[in-house]
Amino acid sequence: MGSFGERLQREREMRGITLEEIAESTKIGTRSLRALEQENFDKLPGGIFNKGFVRAYARYLGIDEEQAVTDFLAAAGDPEQPLPTPFPKVKPAASGSGGRSWAAVLALAALAAGGFAAWKFKLGPFAGRASQSESVSPPPVVPPPSTAAAAPVSSDQAANPASGPSSEPGGGSVAAPSSTAAEGFVVLVRAKEDSWVSISADGRVVMERTLAAAETREVRARKIVVLKLGNAAGVEVSYNNTVMLPLGRVNEVKTVVFTPEGLQP
C-alpha cells in the first residue's frame, strides 16, 4: 500500500469515521472508497470520476482537497485516463490504404442510416396506427327508436267515429289523444283513489306527488317512460289508449317501464 492510500486511511481512522459513513454522505460506493485507500486504481471508473472521488473523500474528512488530488495523480501514474468514446477515431492516411479505410467507414455509416430510415418508414406510422386501433374502440351504433304502432281504436270510437275527447286533463274521464310515429307514444295515469305517483319521460322528471282520486296525468315520450307507484292498485294506466291490466296490489310500491314496444317485463 502506497503513501497516498495510507494517508487517506490514517486521516479517516483518526477521526473515527467509517467507509460506510463516507459512502452514505458522498453517494460513492464503499468498493470505490476502499480502492482509493488500497490504491487499486484499476477498480475505479477512470477519467474525471477518480479525481471527483478524491475531492469528495477529502472534503468529508476536512483535509486539503487540492493536495489530496495532487497526491492521487502522483500515485496513480496515469492520472488522465480517457473515458471510452462512443465511436472510434479514424486517422486519415496519405497512402491508398488509408483512403480505402475512410471509404469503408463512410459506406458502413450510409448503410446504417439507410436501414434505420427504411425501418422507420415501414413500421413507424403503421405501428402507431395499429396501437391506436387496438386501444380505442369505435362508439356503439345506436339504432333509432322503432316506430310506434298505430293507436288501437276503442270500441266507442269504432261505433261513433265522430266522437272525441270531451274534457280537460284532471277530470274524471279524459281520453288520451292518438299517438303518431313522429310523436312517440302516450302513457295516461288515472287515480282511482289518492295515490302517490312519480313519472319520468326520456330522462326528465315530469311529476312527483299524490294524484287525487279521479285525477289524471298524461305523458308523451319517444324512448322511455318510468312510473313509480306508491299504491299500484289505486291507479289505472293506459298505453296508447289501451288500458293495462292492474299493475299491482293495494298499497304495493311498484316501478314499471314503458318503451315504444310497450310495457317492459
Domain boundary among 76, 95, 128: 76
Amino acid sitting at position 244 = M
Give the total number of structural domains in the chain.
Answer: 2
- Separation CA 185–CA 259 (nearest Å): 8
Say which residue, 238 or 83, is predicted with more confidence: 238
Domain assignment present for 138: no
Q: For residue 87, is pLDDT > 50?
A: no
CB contact at 8 A, 207 and 236: no
Domain assignment present for 16: yes
In this prediction, residue 3 has a pLDDT band, given cuts at 50, 70 and 90, of confident
Domain assignment present for 205: yes
Domain assignment present for 12: yes
Question: 113-118, long-range: CB within 8 Å, 24+ apart, which pairs?
Answer: none
Domain, as residue range, for 223: 168-263
Domain boundary among 76, 108, 141: 76
The CATH number for 56's domain is 1.10.260.40
Domain boundary among 76, 93, 120: 76
Domain assignment present for 193: yes
Domain assignment present for 128: no
Say which residue, 216 or 46, is predicted with more confidence: 216
Domain assignment present for 32: yes
CB contact at 8 A, 154 and 164: no
DSSP-derived 3-state class of residue 169: coil
Q: What share of the chain is helix, strand, coil (3-state, %, to 5)?
A: 40, 20, 40
Domain assignment present for 9: yes
Nearest partner of 201 among 182, 181, 178, 219, judged by Cα:
219
Q: For residue 151, is pLDDT > 60?
A: no
**153-195 pLDDT, tens per residue?**
444 444 444 444 443 344 444 444 444 446 799 999 999 999 8
